[in-house]
């Protein structure tokens, strides 16, 4: 993306400045704290930055939900002679995005055919992300051993899961297929828990966790760091989405802190929820998102439960190396 300030009409290099599309989703970072806002200002898409407005995503590509144009209004798609196979984004998250996954190609075609309003295209959406700032994310399911510990330790979480699903976790063999079946049963049970039950249990959980975070509780080093991080994440998510049982997602998903320059890959049909920070992303040209929590948008729990691979463990985090 060339800056409008450095564009030289007399240049014969044919470098054309692009005008990206800016998305103002509610979870975006506000004002000039957002890289999306600063890049939008630099590229001439906006004349000024509203300090009270969220600037969530910057899109560069040919997707119809956010087409890039040249300065004269010509679309990038018409210039390159068709749709690009990829979509580039800058993402500035001030609070958590939804619990979600992106479909594979076959799944995307089916979802678009069945529900074109909520699934606007028929393409898959694997994505590669590089952190620009310290970036917090929930990615992939925890291992069954960790989930079993959390079920035993947190009765409120356990109360949102059927006895059958809990037994499947505790009695599961070491066979990978058995583990995936047990995890699927657990996730489906939790996501299908009636709201009146999950909301009551969430209130009880928050009250207890808040007390445990106080100075009167046992010394924090008596609890494993990953469990402390899990509890603090739940308290934070519950503040952002009051009454949403999705705040208990850290009991199910790996909670990661990714350093600037590190990268990770989210394949299709893998659960994740970005929590805070800024990244650049490159993905297939699609806007398909299957959501199930931490959002006021359309939730599609049944499709999410059915599409996931139920692999356990988070994505591989790759450290960047200098190019010189």
Burial of 128 by CB count in 10 Å (0-12 exposed, 13-18 middle, 19+ buried)? middle
Residue 110 a catalytic site member: no
At a CB cut-off of 8 Å and minimum separation 6, what does 245 contact? Answer: 160, 190, 193, 195, 198, 199, 201, 202, 293
Coil vs helix vs strand at 61: coil
Alpha helix (H) ranges present in the chain? 35-42, 76-80, 105-114, 144-153, 155-158, 163-170, 176-191, 195-212, 225-240, 301-307
Catalytic residue among 19, 30, 142, 291: 291
Q: Which residues of 159-186 are buried (b: 16+ CB within 10 A; e: fewer)?
A: ebbeeebbebbeebeeeeeebbebbbbb
**Do 266 and 102 form a contact (C-beta atoms < 8 A)?**
yes
Hey, which residues are catalytic here?
A: 291
């Amino acid at each position: 993306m060339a800056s409008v300030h450095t564009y030289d009409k007399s240049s014969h290099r044919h470098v054309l400045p692009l005008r990206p599309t800016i998305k103002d989703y509610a979870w975006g970072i506000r004002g000039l704290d957002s890289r999306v806002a600063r890049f939008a200002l630099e590229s001439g898409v906006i004349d000024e930055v509203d300090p009270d407005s969220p600037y969530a995503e910057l899109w560069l590509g040919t997707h119809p939900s956010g087409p890039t144009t040249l300065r004269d209004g010509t679309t990038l798609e018409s210039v390159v002679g068709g749709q690009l196979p990829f979509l580039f984004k800058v993402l500035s998250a001030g609070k958590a995005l939804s619990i979600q996954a992106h479909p594979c190609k076959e799944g995307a075609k089916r979802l678009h055919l069945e529900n074109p309003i909520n699934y606007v295209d028929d393409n898959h959406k694997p994505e590669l992300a590089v952190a620009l700032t310290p970036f917090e994310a929930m990615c992939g399911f925890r291992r069954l051993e960790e989930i079993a510990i959390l079920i035993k330790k947190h009765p409120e979480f356990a109360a949102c899961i059927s006895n059958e699903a809990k037994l499947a976790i505790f009695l599961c063999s070491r066979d990978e297929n058995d583990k995936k079946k047990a995890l699927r049963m657990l996730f489906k049970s939790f996501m299908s828990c009636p709201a009146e039950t999950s909301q009551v249990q969430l209130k009880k959980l928050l009250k207890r966790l808040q007390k445990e975070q106080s100075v009167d509780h046992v010394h924090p080093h008596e609890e494993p760091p990953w469990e402390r991080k899990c509890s603090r994440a739940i308290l934070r998510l519950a503040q952002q989405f009051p009454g949403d049982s999705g705040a208990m997602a850290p009991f199910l998903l790996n909670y990661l802190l990714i350093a600037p320059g590190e990268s990770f890959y989210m394949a299709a049909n893998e659960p994740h929820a970005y929590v805070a920070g800024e990244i650049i992303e490159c993905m297939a040209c699609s806007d398909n998102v299957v959501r199930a929590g931490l959002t006021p948008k359309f939730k599609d729990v049944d499709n999410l439960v059915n599409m996931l691979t139920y692999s356990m463990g988070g994505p591989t985090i790759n450290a960047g190396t200098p190019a010189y």
